[in-house]
């Protein structure tokens, strides 16, 4: 018997049966009615926002429903608060905060250009604004005031495209005043890069002394030599005779010690010698040339070269995990990038390299089968190879260095291995006679040693003699043609790289065990002081390795590549002696060990 209505469980009336909604409807119609009742739909007008803004813009153009009038320079601009506040943080704060202006029907904006204001209000309604060279600066300053950041960024991008040697200084100053830090940086970088052209224009001659000082403080000025900076200073001083009083302070920012001694006497002394405050600066520069052994005590910002004058770095050959690299890579310190350069005339491993008179001299090494005594010369100007007279002895694992600063200073080839025995012999290349001559041999044989010139003497450190790796160091005096022992290094170092900098010798990396043994490679570096005949351990490299290529670039040591016992490395690091720290530079394009690394003069007249 069916239950009566009163006997049905609680909630029965609220639960609709799945079989039917209405007892009088078929099952299928009941289900369709349920689905229709539950379904929903949503309509989106994709053009709604655009059409609404167009309508608001038409009200602006017809001056209808406006609730605020902006006044600038006598120009009245009716607008809608909600539109201005939605685009500008400046207006949002004005109209939605507790400021008195929120209730005013008219607001006067002091020191605001009326045409720029009108263009920016029009932008708030349309999203469009016209940028012109003659008005963009006024527009940018007004947009910055009103905190219309998108317009400010557009104006900065426009001005960046307009940078030119005749206007970059003005744009940099304007950007700094407006707080546009990115544009300020870009304009300064452009000024540094095109400095040689910038100094020819009126903007440069119109700089105030403190602005000129700020420019001269940068080591990023792209110049051929420090002569260009001094000449630009004199052009600025001579533009207005009253500026001569600023000369001593500005001359402190010129790197006088890096000028040639001839230029110091013929140009600087003549132009500035009659100013008493300039004389100590000139004397400091003269001492730098006359007393090279005391340069460490004379070092200052004036002796640190500008980036564009320190030259480029060449990494030549070396082991690369295959048959040995015969290519070169060139490093540009201004862009911190490596790029492929030239190839050597023939494949060489464990060779020596020296730079002399804009020429690269490559001596000895192995071709993979035999040890070589051949010498090649690469002209960095004509980019061509030629052959020099061969050495008297076949050598690989030799050290090569130029002793002296004169154009025809001799090149020394030190030690190495001739394919049969380790060598203690040393020979010298005379650029005048174009011949190699044997000089006094070292006390002991050594190969893969580090060789460098310092204070008019030649040093050979570490290496191998067929047995253990060596700690010993020898010093050659060309005046006596004699080698004398020096204090040994703190560690045995085969495959060591040695570089001279700031009156010291630096020994980098190497291995203590035989080169083919696992481990035993060094990350520590140490410095030799010839005045005290002692070695001091310094900051470590980022990883232990031998066969590092190193040289002095400007006043800092660069360590390139190497071998860690597993792989050939593309690591490049630079050492700052002031902070005793290493910093990584851009890596090589490919790993290499035992590469010859040299600094070559910068390209001339390419700015």
What CATH code is carried by the domain that includes residue 232? 1.25.40.420
Residues 342 and 439 in one domain: yes
| Paired strand residues for 79 | 68
Is 490 contained in some domain? yes
Of 106, 131, 162, which residue constitutes the final position of a domain?
Answer: 162
pLDDT band at 18 (very low <50, low <70, confident <90, very high): very low
| Residue 479: pLDDT over 50 | yes
Q: 371: which strand partners?
A: 366
Same domain, 365 and 439: yes
581 and 491 housed in the same domain: yes
Instruction: Verify that 320 and 247 share a domain, yes or no.
Output: no
Establish if 437 belongs to a structural domain: yes
Residues 145 and 271 in one domain: no
Quickly state the pLDDT bin for 514 (edges 50, 70, 90): low
Task: Provide mean pLDDT across the span 148-172.
Answer: 95
pLDDT beyond 90 at 583:
yes
Residues 424 and 462 in one domain: yes
In a domain, 72, yes or no: yes
Counting every residue, how long is the chain? 607
Q: Sign of torsion, CA 366 367 372 376?
A: negative
Judged by DSSP in three states, 576 sits in strand
Which pLDDT band, with edges at 50, 70 and 90, does 8 fall under? very low
Residues 70-123 pLDDT 10s: 998 889 999 998 999 889 998 988 888 877 777 888 888 888 999 999 999 999
pLDDT tens-digit series, residues 269-291 = 999 989 999 999 999 999 988 88
* Pick from 548, 484, 559: nearest CA to 521: 548
Report d(CA 417, CA 397) in Å as an integer.
6
pLDDT at position 518? 55
Residues 536-543, mean pLDDT to the nearest whole number? 96
pLDDT band at 29 (very low <50, low <70, confident <90, very high): very low
Residue 566 belongs to what domain range?
Answer: 310-599
pLDDT at 528: 97
- Tell me the CATH number at 121: 3.30.710.10
Q: Compute the distance between CA of residue 596 and CA of residue 352 in angstroms, rounded to an integer.
A: 7
236 is a domain residue: yes
Indicate the number of domains in the chain: 3
Pair (277, 321) in one structural domain:
no
- Residue 183 maps to a domain: no
Residue 342 lies in a domain: yes
Of 162, 197, 227, the residue that ends a domain is 162
**CA–CA dist 180, 141 (Å, integer):** 10
Least confident among 36-50, 97-111, 285-299, 310-324: 36-50
Of the two residues 297 and 380, the one the predictor is more confident about is 380
Cβ partners under 8 Å of residue 482, min gap 6: 440, 476
Q: Are 112 and 142 within 8 A, CB to CB? A: yes
Residues 110 and 236 in one domain: no
DSSP readout, 324-364?
-EEEEEEEETTTTEEEEEEE-SS--BS-EEEEETTEEEEE-
More confidently predicted of 376 and 54: 376
Claim to verify: residue 441 and residue 328 sit in the same structural domain: yes
Q: Is residue 3 part of a domain?
A: no
| Same domain, yes or no: 355 and 442 | yes
Mean pLDDT, the chain, as a whole number? 88
293-307, 372-386, 500-514, range with the lowest pLDDT: 293-307
- What local confidence, expressed as pLDDT, does residue 10 receive? 43
Q: Are 232 and 364 in a shared domain?
A: no
- What CATH number is associated with residue 457? 2.120.10.80
Based on the domain organization, do 402 and 445 belong to the same domain?
yes
Q: What is the pLDDT of residues 198-249, one digit of tens each?
A: 999 999 999 999 999 999 999 999 999 999 999 999 999 999 989 999 999 9
Whole-structure pTM value: 0.76
Q: What is the mean pLDDT of residues 51-62?
A: 80
Long-range CB pairs of 480-485 (<8 Å, 24+ gap) are 481/439, 481/440, 482/440, 483/440, 483/441, 483/442, 483/443, 485/443
For residue 309, give the nearest of 603, 10, 2 by alpha carbon.
603
Residue 30 lies in a domain: no
* Cα dihedral value 254, 255, 256, 257, nearest 10: 170
Final residue of a structural domain among 280, 303, 326: 303
Of 233, 359, 380, 228, nearest to 306 (Cα)? Answer: 228
pLDDT over threshold 90, residue 368: no
């Amino acid at each position: 018997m069916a239950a009566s209505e009163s006997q049905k469980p609680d909630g029965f009336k609220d639960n609709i049966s799945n079989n039917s909604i209405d007892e009088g409807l078929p099952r299928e119609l009941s289900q369709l009615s349920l689905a229709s009742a539950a379904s929903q739909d949503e309509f989106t007008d994709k053009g709604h926002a655009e059409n609404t803004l167009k309508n608001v813009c038409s009200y602006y153009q017809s001056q209808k429903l406006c609730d605020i009038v902006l006044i600038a320079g006598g120009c009245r601009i009716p607008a809608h608060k909600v539109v201005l506040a939605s685009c500008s943080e400046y207006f949002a704060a004005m109209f939605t905060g507790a400021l008195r202006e929120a209730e005013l029907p008219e607001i006067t904006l002091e020191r605001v250009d009326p045409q720029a204001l009108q263009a920016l209000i029009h932008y708030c309604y349309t999203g469009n604004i016209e940028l012109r060279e003659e008005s963009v600066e006024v527009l940018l300053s007004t947009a910055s005031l009103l905190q219309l950041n998108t317009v400010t960024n557009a104006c900065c991008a426009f001005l960046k495209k307009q940078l030119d040697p005749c206007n970059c200084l003005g744009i940099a100053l304007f950007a700094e005043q407006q707080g546009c830090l990115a544009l300020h940086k870009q304009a300064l970088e452009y000024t540094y890069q095109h400095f040689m052209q910038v100094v020819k224009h009126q903007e440069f001659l119109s700089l105030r002394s403190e602005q000129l000082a700020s420019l001269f403080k940068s080591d990023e000025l792209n110049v051929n030599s420090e002569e260009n900076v001094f000449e630009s200073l004199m052009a600025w001083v001579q533009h207005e005779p009253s500026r001569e009083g600023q000369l001593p302070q500005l001359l402190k920012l010129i790197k006088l010690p890096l000028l040639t001694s001839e230029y110091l006497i013929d140009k600087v002394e003549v132009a500035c010698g009659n100013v008493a405050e300039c004389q100590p600066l000139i004397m400091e520069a003269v001492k730098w040339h006359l007393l090279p052994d005391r340069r460490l005590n004379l070092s200052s910002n004036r002796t640190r070269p500008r980036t564009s004058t320190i030259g480029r770095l060449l990494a030549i050959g070396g082991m690369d995990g295959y048959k040995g690299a015969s290519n070169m890579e060139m490093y540009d310190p201004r862009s911190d990038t490596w790029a492929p350069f030239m190839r050597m005339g023939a494949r060489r491993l464990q060779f020596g390299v020296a730079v002399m008179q804009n020429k690269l001299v490559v001596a000895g090494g192995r071709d993979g089968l035999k040890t070589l005594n051949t010498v090649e010369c690469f002209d960095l100007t004509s980019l061509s190879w030629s052959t020099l007279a061969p050495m008297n002895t076949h050598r690989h694992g030799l050290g090569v260095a130029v002793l002296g600063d004169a154009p025809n200073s001799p090149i020394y080839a030190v030690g190495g291995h001739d394919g049969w025995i380790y060598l203690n012999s040393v020979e010298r290349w005379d650029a005048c006679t174009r011949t190699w001559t044997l000089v006094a041999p070292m006390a002991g044989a050594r190969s893969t040693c580090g060789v460098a010139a310092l204070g008019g003497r030649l040093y050979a450190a570490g290496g191998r003699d067929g047995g253990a790796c060596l700690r010993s160091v020898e010093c050659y005096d060309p005046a006596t043609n004699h080698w004398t022992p020096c204090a040994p290094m703190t560690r045995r170092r085969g495959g060591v790289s040695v570089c001279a900098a700031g009156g010291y010798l630096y020994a980098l990396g190497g291995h203590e065990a035989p080169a083919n043994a696992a481990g035993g490679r060094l990350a520590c570096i140490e410095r030799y002081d010839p005045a005290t005949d002692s070695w001091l351990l310094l900051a470590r490299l980022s990883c232990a390795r031998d066969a590092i290529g190193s040289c002095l670039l400007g006043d800092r040591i660069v360590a390139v590549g190497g071998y860690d016992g597993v792989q050939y490395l593309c690591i490049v690091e630079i050492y700052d002696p002031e902070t005793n720290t290493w910093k990584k530079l851009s890596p090589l394009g490919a790993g290499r060990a035992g590469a010859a690394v040299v600094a070559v003069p910068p390209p001339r007249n390419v700015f």
